[in-house]
Amino acid sequence: MKVNNRLFLSTLGIISTIAIIGLLFLSYIKLDEPLFFEHYYEQQVTVLSDGDLDSHGEEFELKYLTNAFEDKTVIHVEFPEEPDLAVQASEYPFGISPSSTPTPEETKGPYSVRTVYVQPLELFGAEQFDQTTLTQVKLFFSDNSSMTVDIGEVNFYTVSPDQLDTEPLNYFSSTSTSEGDTSHFYEVKSEVTLTGIHSEHLDKYADWINFKINDQPLETWIGKTFQSGETISGSSEMVENRSRNILDRFTEIKLRPELTLTDAEGQQHTSRTFEIEDREAFTFFNLLEYVKARGAL
Amino acid sequence: MSAAYKKLFWGVFFANIQLHFGAITILPGFVGFLIAYSGLSDLDMETETASKSFDLPQGTLLALVILTAIYSAFNLFTGSQYETLPLVAFIPTLFSVMELVAFHKILEVSVTEFQARDFIYGVEKYSRRDRIYILLKGLSALLLTLNLVFSSPVILVAGTLLEVAAIIYLLVIFHSLKKDTEEMEIEYFTDLY
């Protein structure tokens, strides 16, 4: 029985020590306030003929990190740089009743990654949305507190329904993986030559993203002509991100580079590519590393 | 004694296997601990060795009845929204440790009782089983505590499997104790007459 008692007391001692250390550690790594990730988005907004925004399906997401036990949620946002921009914001995807679903969040130990869904509703002078860049957001929480944070850069571009109809490429299918790799397939409506590529952020992330057309790097297609009826595939693949620093790895990227296509008559058309996304798989350890790198401990 | 071990068996069973009817829990965990407490009181009356040995497991089981009842009621009214609060998150660890204390002490007293009755086979058998139970329950509590901090699926799965193994093993022990004490009691009465 002595052996059993020694084993019992040692087990109790180890569990108590681990529990106390664990509790102290959790108190130490607790966040004082939410940490917003950096976002680099090229965000489409469709402006209807009457100047209103067709915001249906054109929402964007702002992600942040907070304590898993935090019960305050973001209920409204404003953008100090664009006070005339009216948006609706919620931590619930639009169309889902808050009472029927818990806040969609990804909980990893003491931390949870949450998403604020932002849907542009109205902007006075919406035709100027093309020049709009948002770098800061003022958040209003359910406990009546508010805070203003940097969010990276959300660059808007506008399209009109007519413009979408006259684009020289006709999208017809796509595939994607959970790692963020995507392939999209288009049919060329009429003969066009690729004469330019423009993106606010693509150069910055060129090392991270293998962006290809028909399995060849995008730049090699400049000056090349696509024939009418030809099927082209566009693919984006994220390169292994372990070599990137932790702050870069948690940067949310959603890019849609603009292709300039010139037809046989010399007329220029612009067409946005599919969305290029970078997703990081969250774990407790990489979230802790991120919190440390942000100096929030 | 065998009737007391039977109660302890069903106590452990209902403390860990809960029946739900929709949103209502028909037999919440504290009912199981209450059955186990009642079994332990019966055992206390039927053993020949010092009754003080039962003070710790009895006190621990009574505390488990009260605390698990409060915890169930708290969760019923607040949902699971506070389960991630650091202090609240460690409550299941506390319950696990209390279970370990109560059931190890019951096994320890049972072995002492077998010693007093010269049931040598039982002494060796249940000392060994007590040791294995401490290892299974202790390791599962340790892993599930570590999981509260690190939230690792590997630790969670390993801890949960060990927890299930510890529960099943304890059920096997009480079932076996019931059988062995039945035989012991028959032998005792046969010798008497």
Instruction: Say yes or no: A284 contacts chain B, CB-CB below 8 A.
Output: yes
Beta bridge partners of A231: A187
Chain A residue with CA closest to B103: the answer is A8
Q: What is the pLDDT of residue A232?
A: 84
A19 interaction partners in chain B (CB closer than 8 Å): 90, 93, 145
Give me the phi and psi of A193, to 5 degrees please. -115, 135
Cα radius of gyration (chain A) = 24
Total tally of structural domains belonging to chain B: 1
What is the mean predicted confidence (pLDDT) over A153-173?
Answer: 80
Q: Which residues of chain B have pLDDT under 70?
A: 20-25, 48-52, 78-86, 187-193
Give me the phi and psi of B154, to 5 degrees please. -65, -45
Which CATH architecture group holds A35-158? Sandwich (2.60)
Q: What is the pLDDT of residue A35?
A: 95
Higher pLDDT, A158 or B12: B12
Q: Assign A226 a pLDDT band (cuts: 50, 70, 90).
A: confident
Chosen for mutation from A3, A6, A11, A286 (greatest number of chain B CBs closer than 10 Å) is: A11
How far out from the chain centre does Cα B35 lie? 11
Higher pLDDT, A34 or A131: A34
Q: Assign A150 a pLDDT band (cuts: 50, 70, 90).
A: very high
**Residues A5-54: tens digit of each pLDDT:** 899 999 999 999 999 998 899 889 999 999 999 999 988 888 777 767 77
Q: What is the pLDDT of residue B6?
A: 92
Q: What is the pLDDT of residue B8?
A: 93
B108 interaction partners in chain A (CB closer than 8 Å): 1, 4-5
Average pLDDT score over chain A: 83
Instruction: Say yes or no: A49 contacts chain B, CB-CB below 8 A.
Output: no
Give me the phi and psi of A178, to 5 degrees please. -65, -20
**Residues A55-105: tens digit of each pLDDT:** 666 788 999 999 988 888 899 999 999 888 888 898 887 766 655 555 667
Q: Is pLDDT above 70 for A180?
A: no
Q: Which of A1, A5, A15 has its CB closest to that of B142?
A: A15
Give me the phi and psi of A205, to 5 degrees please. -110, 15
Distance CA A254, CA A200 (A): 11
Q: How far is A208 from chain B (nearest CA, A)?
A: 28
For B30, the domain range is 2-192
Beta bridge partners of A152: A39
Chain A residue with CA closest to B139: the answer is A11
Distance CA A217, CA A236 (A): 10
ipTM over 0.90: no
Distance CA A201, CA A183 (A): 20
Interchain contact, A1 vs B149, CB within 8 Å: no
Domain residue extents for chain A: 35-158, 166-278
**Fold adopted by A166-278:** Immunoglobulin-like (2.60.40)
Interchain contact, A19 vs B90, CB within 8 Å: yes
A14-23, A169-178, A218-227 — most confident range: A14-23
A5 interaction partners in chain B (CB closer than 8 Å): 108
Whether B174 contacts B16, CB under 8 Å = no
Distance CA B21, CA B30 (A): 17
Interchain contact, B135 vs A7, CB within 8 Å: yes
